[in-house]
Structure 1
Amino acid sequence: MLVTNAFQHVPRGGRAQRGPSRRTVLVTLSSSAATALPLLSAAPAGASPQRADDLLYIGTWGQGQVHAVRFDPDRGTMTSLGPVAQASANWVTAHPYRPVLYVAGAEQGGFVRVFRIHDASGALRKVGEVETQSAPAGSGGLSFIGLTPDADALLVADFAAGAAATVPVGADGLLGPVASRVQDTGSGPHPRQSGPHPHHVVLAPHRKSALVADFGADRVFVYDYDRATHRLSAGAPDGPAAYLTAPGSGPRRLAFHPNGHTVYLLNELTADLQTLHWDATKGTLTHRQTLSTNTPGHTGVTSAAELAVSSDGRHVYTSNRGESTLVVFSVNLGTGLLTEVQRVPCGGVTPWSFALHPSGRWLFVANEASGTVNLFRVARGSGHLTDTGTSVAVPFPDCITFRVRAGTPGLTRF
């Protein structure tokens, strides 16, 4: 497994054939000019590291680029900085307090590349690379990377190889050699489920278990996690514990409620959202509720994509790619059960992913097929979403992460 670091520098799926929606695009350059811009070079020595706004980094599906956007959270304005790195970008995530960005690739080898962020300009400089696959795998590459709550390890979902991995993160944000790798098993009835395909990895609140949503196996696997060594293991002699979904569900995303014993599971192929009970002592999941993210009488493509829980635990957000909608659910704080409260168009086509701003006031949607990142306002109290009409052009956006300005509450990735 390859690990490279430049220490000297450190202090999916079909696309709908529709054009972008006619939104207000707040950019300093036209979208065509932004796309044609050369990559931002590293800022000159002596440039001020201070910034007034946050930075958004956006992966692009099949385009081999990472784009950046500057965001003013007070005024709700976005300014495109264009492409800032040439790298396959199935998923991107930023370190919560170091100026470091991690980029997961789609090519064989399961590469995670590390970039140093220059805050004043938004420029990226590659400072490291880790190869997480131990053997050649099929197409698709990595589907997710995310940091542990301590930001001391990276959790990796290797869709192509059917495995999950962990990679230690140093105090400087650089990656060490792969610490562990576990192989999922199983398949499903859908043509895309010929074998295991992990899509998401999260740690349980007690940080002794890792849950893996496996799209191909129709299971959520529960692995033991050693916080000291960052290693995943099967635990029981007969393999990891597993929660089984209905055949052909395609588990895609998991999110823990702040209460620590409720887990939400979004299934891609059936576009339903499940509420599960998490027993930390036994390491098991139990079904409690299933709700559809489709409208009643839905026909055509069925595909759910993204899931997030508000920081106060009062609302759950999902995206539906088949209907190009965002669906909001209220949470009963006593039971953790859900009630649908809003369904709105996503502002474009195919909401591949979205991200809640750490302030809780904004939600950004990566509309992959229409090539836009659209901004929604989140209402305090009700949690309802309002399309601001503001967007930026990004080719085939697939995920969004934040580098927030000083004083902004820390980012939580879902």
Structure 2
Amino acid sequence: MPLLGCLRLAGFAKRGIAPMRNSEHPETTWRPSRRAVLGAVAASTAAAALPLAGTPSASAETRRELLYIGTWRGTQVNGAWFDPVDGTMTPYGIVAQVNSSWQARHPSKPVLYVGSGDAGGTVSAFRIDRSSGALDLIGQAKSDSAGTPGGLSYIGIDRRSDTVLAANFAAGLTAAMPIRRDGGVDAPASVAVHTGSGPHPRQTGPHPHHAVVDPSGRFVLVPDLGADRVFIHEYDRRTRSLSGARTYPVTPGSGPRRVVFHPDGRTLYLLNELSADLHTLSWNPEKGQITLEESLSIVAPDYTGTKSGGELSMSLDGRFLYATSRGTENAIVVYAIGRASGSLTLVQRVSSAGLTPWTFSIHRSGKWMLVANQASSTVNLFSIDRTSGKLTATGTSMTVPSPDCITFA
């Protein structure tokens, strides 16, 4: 398998490519031409003397896929091509000048949504040019009308109601923001304000960190790092209304961060950031209730450093669960999921091949995992054994400043 060495992203401005501004939002968007983008791809590839050097063949160009990578506390979204056959990544530069805390792609429209960490927690909608990877700004809306400094920690899309669900970490609220027919986003149709705090210095108030619709479509679950609870809001898809506030409390100081549903619709998993532990939970969709079944630490038994759980995701077939242990452990932990019980069995603990594995994304083939190592400013590629669930570092990496979110387009 040809390996791709570390590359430094080349900004379009440095290559003398003039920005094209959107007349409606001239200060926030620009769009390089298709010729400019493809030229940047060829230039950066040739400079590094990579296996993909020169103009890609027609077959390689057909199979490659777009990637968008956000920058933690930065002001840009970076673009890259991923070849799922060869397992190579080719960066082509900055595609949007916007504060980027999290991203989400619309499941059917060629639109990328970018949630910001700026005051008010703005969500920006960009139309994707699938041939070049360029982005055009469609519109923007704030999740928090009060303009609380600090902004969003997560955005996700509910396809059935065509809604952006935004977790505003700073304002302590979850917003349901309608998606327009053109893919743009409107101001919130409803907002659920959280309350609560915890003993940790980062828990002086509520800080929502995720928002997921349950399989029944009747509830939105929001792990709240600051309140030490998972909030369970009733959700009306027709009106996009969030209401009610059932909660699942965790041990004080745990800091809930991510929740993932198993395909069976009755089991879910919760990752706590501050305590770096993982809860196996049963879910009652009729009552909207959570019950703890099992709790285990994601850090190694002899680890004594700072604990910090990062990302949590499941293999596409529901057989394996993956979590990142940040702090100074810098590891990805793999668990097998019990077919009948949903219980977890440790399979592997492997280095993330960088520092502070903030997030990762699993390719739709189930063969690849791309890891955003935020502190080392690298995106590292792992292969996945779909039989055992184990990861193998390929040695392929790509330089991206402080990556925090990887989105396949």
Normalised-by-shorter TM-score class: 0.7 to 0.9
- Does the 8 Å CA contact 1:92/1:103 hold for their aligned counterparts? yes
Matched, 1:55 2:62: no
Aligned to 1:336: 342
Deviation (angstroms), 1:33: 3.9
Deviation (angstroms), 1:361: 1.0
Picking from 94, 97, 112, the partner of 2:108 is 97
The residue identity in structure 2 corresponding to 1:60 is: T
1:53-202 equivalence runs, <5 A:
53-139=64-150, 141-150=151-160, 152-202=162-212
Deviation (angstroms), 1:173: 1.9
Q: Matched residues, percent identical?
A: 49
Q: For residues 114-147 of structure 1, what are the alpha-carbon distances to aligned partners after superposition, in whole Å with 9 as ceiling and x for unaligned?
A: 11111111111111101111213243x1000000
Aligned to 1:388: 394
d(CA) in 2 for partners of 1:149, 1:260? 17
d(CA) in 2 for partners of 1:363, 1:149? 24
Q: What is the SS of the residue equivalent to 2:63?
A: coil
Q: What is the SS of the residue equivalent to 2:312?
A: strand
Q: What is the SS of the residue equivalent to 1:200?
A: coil
Picking from 265, 268, 273, the partner of 1:263 is 268
d(CA) in 2 for partners of 1:200, 1:97? 22
- Does the 8 Å CA contact 1:51/1:120 hold for their aligned counterparts? no
- Does the 8 Å CA contact 2:9/2:400 hold for their aligned counterparts? no
- Does the 8 Å CA contact 1:51/1:119 hold for their aligned counterparts? no
Aligned to 2:384: 378
Deviation (angstroms), 1:177: 3.0
d(CA) in 1 for partners of 2:236, 2:161? 14
Deviation (angstroms), 1:26: 4.5
Picking from 21, 25, 43, the partner of 2:34 is 43
Runs of at least 5 residues in structure 2 that lack an aligned partner in the other structure: 20-30, 39-57
Aligned to 2:26: none
d(CA) in 2 for partners of 1:202, 1:224? 12
Q: What is the SS of the residue equivalent to 2:118?
A: coil
Deviation (angstroms), 1:34: 5.2
Q: For residues 345-370 of structure 1, what are the alpha-carbon distances to aligned partners after superposition, in whole Å with 9 as ceiling and x for unaligned?
A: 00110001111111111111000000
Aligned to 2:48: none
1:307-386 equivalence runs, <5 A:
307-322=312-327, 323-386=329-392
Deviation (angstroms), 1:109: 1.3
- Does the 8 Å CA contact 1:145/1:154 hold for their aligned counterparts? yes
The residue identity in structure 2 corresponding to 1:288 is: E
- Cα distance change of structure 1 residues 73 and 24 upon mapping to structure 2, 3 Å threshold: closer
Deviation (angstroms), 1:62: 1.6
Q: For residues 166-205 of structure 1, what are the alpha-carbon distances to aligned partners after superposition, in whole Å with 9 as ceiling and x for unaligned?
A: 0112343221331110101100000000000000000000
- Does the 8 Å CA contact 2:65/2:81 hold for their aligned counterparts? yes
The residue identity in structure 1 corresponding to 2:342 is: G
- Does the 8 Å CA contact 1:330/1:338 hold for their aligned counterparts? yes
> How many pairs are equivalent?
371
Picking from 252, 257, 260, the partner of 1:252 is 257
Q: What is the SS of the residue equivalent to 1:170?
A: coil
d(CA) in 1 for partners of 2:161, 2:381? 27
Deviation (angstroms), 1:67: 0.4
**Aligned residues: CA RMSD:** 2.0
d(CA) in 1 for partners of 2:357, 2:342? 26
The residue identity in structure 2 corresponding to 1:224 is: E
d(CA) in 2 for partners of 1:34, 1:172? 29
- Does the 8 Å CA contact 2:212/2:221 hold for their aligned counterparts? yes
Q: What is the SS of the residue equivalent to 2:398?
A: strand
- Does the 8 Å CA contact 1:110/1:132 hold for their aligned counterparts? yes
- Cα distance change of structure 1 residues 91 and 351 upon mapping to structure 2, 3 Å threshold: same
Deviation (angstroms), 1:301: 1.1
The residue identity in structure 2 corresponding to 1:232 is: L
d(CA) in 1 for partners of 2:207, 2:377? 26
Q: For residues 304-332 of structure 1, what are the alpha-carbon distances to aligned partners after superposition, in whole Å with 9 as ceiling and x for unaligned?
A: 10000112110000011121000000000
TM-score under structure 1 length normalisation: 0.86
1:8-47 equivalence runs, <5 A:
25-26=4-5, 30-31=7-8, 33=10, 36=14, 41-43=32-34
- Does the 8 Å CA contact 1:66/1:84 hold for their aligned counterparts? yes
- Does the 8 Å CA contact 1:25/1:393 hold for their aligned counterparts? no
Aligned to 2:404: 398
- Cα distance change of structure 1 residues 151 and 386 upon mapping to structure 2, 3 Å threshold: farther
d(CA) in 1 for partners of 2:5, 2:178? 39
- Does the 8 Å CA contact 1:202/1:254 hold for their aligned counterparts? yes
TM-score under structure 2 length normalisation: 0.87
- Cα distance change of structure 1 residues 58 and 306 upon mapping to structure 2, 3 Å threshold: same
